[in-house]
Amino acid sequence: MASGWRFELSSRPRLPDDALTAVPETVTPMKPTDAYRPDIDGLRALSVIVVVLFHAGLGVTGGFVGVDVFFVISGYLITSLILKQQAAGRFDVVEFFARRVRRIIPAVCVMTLATLVLGSLWLSPAAWIDLAASALAQTAMLANVWYWRTINYFNTAAELKPFLHMWSLAVEEQFYLVYPFLLVFLGRYSRRTMFFVLSALAAMSFVLAQGFLTTRASAVYYLLPFRAWELLLGGIVSLLPRHRFTRWNEVEVAIGSAMVLGPALLYDAQTPFPGLNALPPCVGAALIIHGGRSGTTLIGRLLSSRPMVGIGLLSYSIYLWHWPLLALARNLLGIRLPWPIAAGLILMGLGAAALSWRWVEEPIRRGASFNSQRFSARLFVATSAVVLMVSCAIVAARGVPGRFTPRTLGYFAARTDAPFRHQVSVDAAERGEFPSFGMSEARDTVMVWGDSHAMMIVPGVDAASRTLGISGIQATYSDTPPLLDFVVHGSQYGLGAEGPRLSRAVVKTILDRPVRLVVIGAHWENYADRSDFERCLRETVDAITSAGIPVCLMLDVPSFSTPVPEALARRAIFGLPTADLVVSEREYQIQNRLVNAIIRRVAENRAVILDPREIMTDSSGNWVAELGGEALYEDSSHLSGAGGQRLAPLFERLFQELGLGIPGQP
């Protein structure tokens, strides 16, 4: 968050000016000038602290709101600076961009190259290529677009992406490319006009964000049009008139602090965000900034303390370095980092940030020999060229697979071993158009219906169908349960309110076509905590079996605490055993006891139950991650293609018991 975190109006902290008005004895107000405000550095510190603790998994479940606070700070400071320079008749757009380059680019370049080098030690070829590709997008100031387009239900977990945090810097960079020109244009009009224009633009952006949050959540999170209102809000605050310092300033800053800290502590990953829920922390930041413009409040004194100001001065560097260290560690050790390791990584990030600030950022920002537009242009070209060359070399070398043994590469390859991942749209289902598998033109047809956990069993159903001469059709969509009249609200990857339409279309197809068996699978634990789950499952099964069509309910496999391919690979890299990567029977029961009991109740006298236990467990009853040197999972909960194929004997036996197919013949 470049400008939001270190966009100062003067180079060094200064004490507030003498008081002008009578205030409580505990408070010394400052003059209403544009002097350096240490409380804003303190607000930066507060924001980066909650962000880092959230990213490290250390209890601040809503710490992601710190990014929104940074956007507001950035908008306030950039607008204040430009308006001040415009009023003095010395605003230069080229110099503005030159300063941005000197401020942002050197630290980003050093962090990027260091992360690419560290990634070579244990990232898979595919992950290292992805890291290099994201570095290219970052250099083009399109990191937010890159992650919007590439992070989806089947991608590597976001926690494993070392440059993911650069989406926010890209948002600010894109904002910088437009906003100064807007202010130059509006500078010919009154401040009142400027205020109303910025307010109208902010309102439009906010309405778009809230309107598209349920249908385009990823775009709303990553893209500038939906985030612009947060930056514009800071700009609007800079246009508000100053008032005489009163006790109301204390109240204003106190309310603002509560509006920032409350969401940071109360929100979590399930909170719909940004949109309406981003309003409290953003307005809170605006209140803190505005309330402190006329004088120093009690909370302002806390924010202006030396430790807070010190962290605030390093906040940009801290933000740059903390996330790559955490992400690289998660690639090595697993997503759930023990708290001592997470805390140690935070300290390492602070050390790297301090070194970056002292030896990279400050010398280039303050050095007289660097203070020119020509130098800034050369700096931008040179750093971009270095990152481009290194990143392109990694991509061209296909991630240098020779870094690892064939066994390790085999584990890594499971990450992309995901066949039959078909998303069947509602419209296609209503037209009766479904992907097929097995043997075409066969006598008997089997349907596999469900979410992504149904997709993962299709390799086994396909193999069994080919052996016995059976055709198959696939009715699947991620995070969309195979249940009639069951809606999953707030789903980022599923169909949400459209899910029942898909279910009705699937059941209609089952009844209209000569389907001989319906295999239903799902990530059941995602839906079982709903009070209407059992009823909807029973009604779904009854709707099919009442037509004389048998139903097979597939029990789910367990979820591991970390992506399996990476976990197996890092064990192989360090010569550690792989057979101990298991989910115990106790852990499996904790995950699935409730839903399995419901499924068994519903299936009684209605459906067949297929349990993957006999294939996926060892002699001790533990659920294993690999068999015969093959990774059974492509992430932490979805079976890989090889894992799904292991289920083929179960389906062969089931088909034969139901008299389906002719062995050896289509």
CATH of the domain at 598: 3.40.50.1110
**Where does residue 638 fall: left (phi above 0), alpha (psi -120 to 50 degrees), or beta otherwise?**
beta
Q: Report if residue 243 sits inside a domain.
A: yes
pLDDT above 50: residue 24: no
Q: What is the pLDDT of residue 32?
A: 37
- Are 383 and 475 found together in one domain? no
Q: Report if residue 486 sits inside a domain.
A: yes
Q: Report if residue 605 sits inside a domain.
A: yes
Domain boundary, last residue among 357, 374, 403: 403
- pLDDT tier, 443 (very low <50, low <70, confident <90, very high otherwise): confident
- pLDDT tier, 12 (very low <50, low <70, confident <90, very high otherwise): very low
Q: Report if residue 663 sits inside a domain.
A: no
Percent of the chain at pLDDT exceeding 70: 93
- Are 478 and 612 found together in one domain? yes
- Are 351 and 467 found together in one domain? no
Task: Return the higher-pLDDT residue of 98 and 21.
Answer: 98
Q: Which tokens go with 323?
A: 């996330």
- Are 368 and 425 found together in one domain? no
Helices assigned H by DSSP within 549-660: 564-573, 585-603, 613-616, 641-645, 648-657
- Are 368 and 465 found together in one domain? no
Q: How far does CA 72 lie from the centroid of its chain?
A: 21
- Mean pLDDT across the chain: 89
pLDDT above 60: residue 501: yes
Q: Report if residue 279 sits inside a domain.
A: yes
pLDDT above 70: residue 505: yes
- Are 621 and 538 found together in one domain? yes
The 10 Å Cβ neighbour count of residue 534 is: 16
- Are 490 and 630 found together in one domain? yes
Strand-pairing partners, residue 633, are: 639
pLDDT above 50: residue 133: yes
Q: Report if residue 440 sits inside a domain.
A: yes
Q: What is the pLDDT of residue 185?
A: 93
Task: Return the higher-pLDDT residue of 664 and 560.
Answer: 560
- Are 333 and 455 found together in one domain? no
Q: Which of 112-116, 244-248, 530-534, 626-630 has the lowest mean pLDDT?
A: 244-248
Task: Return the higher-pLDDT residue of 644 and 34.
Answer: 644
Nearest by Cα to 45 from 80, 13, 87, 92: 13
Q: Which of 223-237, 361-375, 455-469 has the lowest mean pLDDT?
A: 361-375
pLDDT above 80: residue 25: no
Q: Which tokens go with 425?
A: 């749209």
Q: What is the pLDDT of residue 155?
A: 52
For 160-176, what is the mean pLDDT? 95
Q: Report if residue 431 sits inside a domain.
A: yes
Quote the CA–CA distance of 634 and 211 in Å, as a whole number.
Answer: 35
Task: Return the higher-pLDDT residue of 333 and 438.
Answer: 438
DSSP structure string for 581-602: -EE-HHHHHHHHHHHHHHHHHH
Quote the CA–CA distance of 543 and 553 in Å, as a whole number.
Answer: 14
Domain boundary, last residue among 372, 403, 434: 403
Q: What is the pLDDT of residue 369?
A: 67
| Parent domain of 285 | 42-403
Strand-pairing partners, residue 450, are: 476, 521
Q: What is the pLDDT of residue 663?
A: 60
pLDDT above 50: residue 666: no
> pLDDT for 365-420, tens place per residue?
877 667 788 888 899 999 999 999 999 999 999 999 999 999 999 999 998 899 99
pLDDT above 60: residue 10: no
Report the domain count for the chain.
2
- Are 341 and 430 found together in one domain? no
For 74-100, what is the mean pLDDT? 91
Task: Return the higher-pLDDT residue of 286 and 153.
Answer: 286
Q: Which long-range contacts (CB under 8 A, 24 or more apart) does 625-631 make?
A: 625/560, 625/564, 625/567, 625/568, 625/578, 625/581, 625/582, 626/411, 626/564, 626/568, 626/578, 626/579, 626/581, 629/407, 629/410, 630/410, 630/414, 631/410, 631/411, 631/414, 631/417, 631/564, 631/565, 631/568
Using an 8 Å Cβ cutoff, are 180 and 82 in contact?
yes
The residues near 314 (Cβ < 8 Å, ≥ 6 apart) are 350, 353, 354, 357
- Are 507 and 631 found together in one domain? yes
- Are 473 and 612 found together in one domain? yes
Nearest by Cα to 476 from 511, 437, 441, 445: 437
Q: Report if residue 508 sits inside a domain.
A: yes
- Are 183 and 316 found together in one domain? yes
Quote the CA–CA distance of 158 and 155 in Å, as a whole number.
Answer: 8
